[in-house]
């Protein structure tokens, strides 16, 4: 299950055509973006069954998740810029068609390699689909109506994220894991019909340049890092270390290219602000802990305690409900007491939740062994998410809000990518399906302890970096 979704891009002001028919915008964008939200939350529940059905190892399960996150995290800023360059409706429809086609590819995949390739394509399509959906809302509505529309879009995203795991688990148990991808076809077809009826809107008068150099360096560098961690975790130490070392020059080259670019995908000047750097550092580490722990949870529920896929999916409902219901409250509290205390307490509570899960893993009864820890994690993340988003926006100049939000969204995906890739170190390359339950639970306990350490570290980042500087006045090239 992916972490909570954050708006990755906002449309600039001043591009709303007068008298534009907006009745199709909200239903089309909600349906379209829900594809990405559902797939981000439902696939983890199906992984144990996919692994068993395709006779695949842990590395395949890691790539099923990481292939999607690699392309989404690497390309989401390019997707936002492409909407400004070519028109948001056109990019939305492009991403929607690509996502549906890739979903069919996932559903009919004859083996692990085909499934992983289809997930790469799905992540690529989502990187264009998700930012374009919110940008369409931003360009179609103004003033108070825009706020209501974005709130409706966000609430629908929280609802689909919450319903994804139990629905997906039920489909896995009753129809099979391929159904979780085929369900995207009718949803996507309806969204495509509605999206086609949206009136076209122009891009910006001054076309945005697409940063292909920065994007390419990101994909290759993160791909090498992910491959290296997975290979090393499987026991292929030489190849893994070589790939990790090779990823370093790509990271350095990315920083150099972005600093020299006239239209960078990631304006490095934003990181001159300590709040912005701290918020993204917090995001990277905290979402790494969340993604790694939630990746492993269904395996323990199903393999160690005999849960069905539907029950494993339903196990995460308290987390999603708390996050969806409490975000508005969290934002209101942040306005009263400031973001810094909440960005210290929230991650610290999340870390405590991981420790509770680690301590009670041998108790198979859900209400004692898993529910308390999941609730504490949900409360911690609820306290964190809204103030974190506020910090990112407040730390950036007004004309860079969309870019700042996109960078923060990418940081969350990249954190999850690295954490999932590194999980093999906890199992020594062993197949989770063949591990004795006591060995699986021991490894799970260590993963949860590591997640707790990362969550506490993100709280320390908040204490050290956030709330100590003023926003920079303007974007620096």
* Cβ neighbours of residue 238 closer than 8 Å, sequence gap 6 or more: none
Closest listed residue to residue 95, CA positions, set 55, 134, 46: 134
81: DSSP letter: H
Q: Taking the CA atoms of 321, 324, 325 and 326 in sequence, report the sign of the dihedral they define.
A: positive
Q: What is the DSSP annotation of 272-298? A: GSHHHHHHHHHHHHHHHHHHHHHHHHH
Q: What is the pLDDT of residue 191?
A: 92
| pLDDT score of 208 | 63
User: Residue 336's CB: how many other CB atoms inside 10 A?
Assistant: 6
**What's the whole-model pTM score?**
0.85
DSSP secondary structure code for residue 362 in this structure: T
Which is it for the CA torsion 347, 9, 39, 24, positive or negative?
positive
Which bin fits 335, alpha (ψ -120 to 50), beta or left (φ > 0)? alpha
DSSP state of 177: T
SS (H, E, C) 319-351: HHHHHHHHHHHHHHHHHHHCHHHHHHHHHHHHH
In whole angstroms, how far apart are CA 381 and each of 45, 122, 203, 319? 20, 27, 36, 9
Local structure of residue 235 (DSSP, 8 states): T
Q: Are 373 and 317 in contact (CB under 8 A)?
A: no
CB 472 within 8 A of CB 272: yes
**CA pair distance 134, 92, nearest whole angstrom:** 10
**Beta-carbon count within 10 A of 367 CB:** 8
- Please tell me whether residue 422 adopts helix, strand or coil conformation: helix
Contacts of 434 (CB under 8 A, 6+ apart): none
Measured distance CA(233)–CA(239) in Å, rounded: 11
Instruction: Give the number of other Cβ atoms within 10 Å of residue 188's Cβ.
Output: 24
Q: What is the pLDDT along the chain (477 residues), one digit of tens a residue?
A: 444 444 433 333 333 443 445 788 888 988 888 887 777 678 888 999 998 899 888 888 899 999 999 998 889 888 888 887 788 888 899 999 999 999 999 999 999 999 999 999 999 999 999 888 877 887 777 766 776 777 677 777 777 777 788 888 999 999 999 999 999 999 999 999 998 888 765 544 455 678 889 999 999 999 999 999 999 888 888 999 999 999 999 999 999 999 988 888 888 888 989 999 999 999 999 999 999 998 899 999 999 999 999 999 899 889 988 887 777 788 778 878 888 999 999 999 999 999 999 999 999 899 999 999 999 999 999 999 888 888 887 888 866 767 787 888 889 889 999 999 998 888 766 677 778 899 899 999 999 999 999 999 999 999 999 876 544 444 443
CA atoms of 416 and 413, how far apart (whole Å): 5
Rounded to whole angstroms, the Cα distance separating 239 from 165 reads 35
Q: Of 471, 465, 300, 454, which is closest to residue 394 (Cα–Cα)?
A: 471
Residue 391 to residue 77: CA distance in whole angstroms: 19
The region that residue 467 occupies, defined by phi over 0 for left and psi between -120 and 50 for alpha, beta otherwise, is left
CA 163 to the chain's CA centroid: 16
Residues 6+ apart with CB under 8 A from 357: 293, 297, 370, 373, 374, 377, 448
């Amino acid at each position: 299950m992916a972490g909570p979704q954050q708006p990755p891009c906002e449309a600039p002001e001043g591009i709303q055509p007068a008298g534009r028919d907006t009745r199709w915008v909200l239903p089309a964008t909600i349906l379209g973006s829900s594809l990405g939200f559902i797939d981000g939350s439902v696939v983890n529940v199906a992984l144990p069954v996919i692994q068993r059905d395709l006779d695949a190892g842990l590395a395949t399960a890691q790539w099923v998740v990481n292939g999607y996150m690699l392309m989404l995290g690497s390309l989401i800023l390019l997707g936002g810029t492409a909407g400004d360059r070519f028109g948001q409706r056109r990019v939305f429809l492009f991403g929607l068609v690509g996502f549906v086609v890739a979903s069919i590819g996932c559903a009919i995949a004859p083996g692990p390699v085909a499934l992983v390739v289809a997930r790469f394509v799905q992540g690529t399509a989502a990187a264009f689909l998700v930012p374009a959906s919110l940008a369409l809302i931003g360009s179609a509505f103004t003033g108070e109506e825009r706020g209501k529309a974005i709130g409706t879009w966000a609430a629908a995203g929280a609802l689909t994220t919450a319903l994804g795991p139990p629905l997906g688990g039920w489909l896995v148990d009753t129809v099979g894991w391929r159904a979780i991808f085929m369900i995207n076809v009718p949803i996507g077809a309806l969204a495509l019909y509605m999206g086609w009826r949206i009136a076209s809107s122009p891009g910006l008068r001054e076309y945005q340049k697409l940063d292909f150099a920065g994007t390419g360096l990101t994909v290759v560098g993160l791909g090498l890092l992910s491959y290296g961690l997975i290979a090393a975790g499987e026991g292929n130490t030489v190849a893994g270390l070589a790939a990790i070392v090779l990823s370093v020059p790509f990271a350095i080259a990315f920083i150099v290219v972005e600093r020299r670019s006239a239209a960078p995908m990631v304006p490095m000047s934003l990181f001159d602000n300590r709040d912005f750097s701290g918020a993204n550092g917090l995001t990277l580490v905290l979402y790494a802990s969340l993604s790694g722990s939630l990746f492993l949870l269904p395996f323990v529920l199903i393999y160690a305690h005999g849960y069905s896929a539907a029950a494993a999916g339903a196990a995460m409902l308290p987390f999603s409900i708390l996050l969806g219901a409490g975000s508005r409250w969290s934002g209101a509290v942040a306005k009263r007491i400031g973001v810094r205390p909440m960005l210290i307490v929230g991650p610290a509570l999340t870390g405590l939740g991981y420790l509770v899960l680690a301590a009670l893993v041998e108790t198979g009864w859900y209400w004692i062994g898993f529910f308390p820890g999941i609730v504490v994690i949900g409360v911690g993340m609820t306290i964190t998410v809204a103030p974190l988003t506020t910090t990112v926006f407040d730390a950036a100049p007004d004309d860079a809000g969309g870019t700042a939000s996109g960078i923060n969204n990418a940081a969350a995906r990249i954190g999850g990518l690295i954490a999932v890739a590194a999980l093999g170190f906890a199992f020594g390359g062993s197949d989770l399906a063949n591990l004795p339950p006591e060995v699986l639970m021991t490894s799970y306990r260590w993963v949860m302890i590591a997640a707790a350490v990362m969550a506490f570290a993100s709280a320390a980042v908040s204490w050290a970096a956030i709330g100590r500087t003023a926003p920079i006045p303007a974007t620096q090239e």
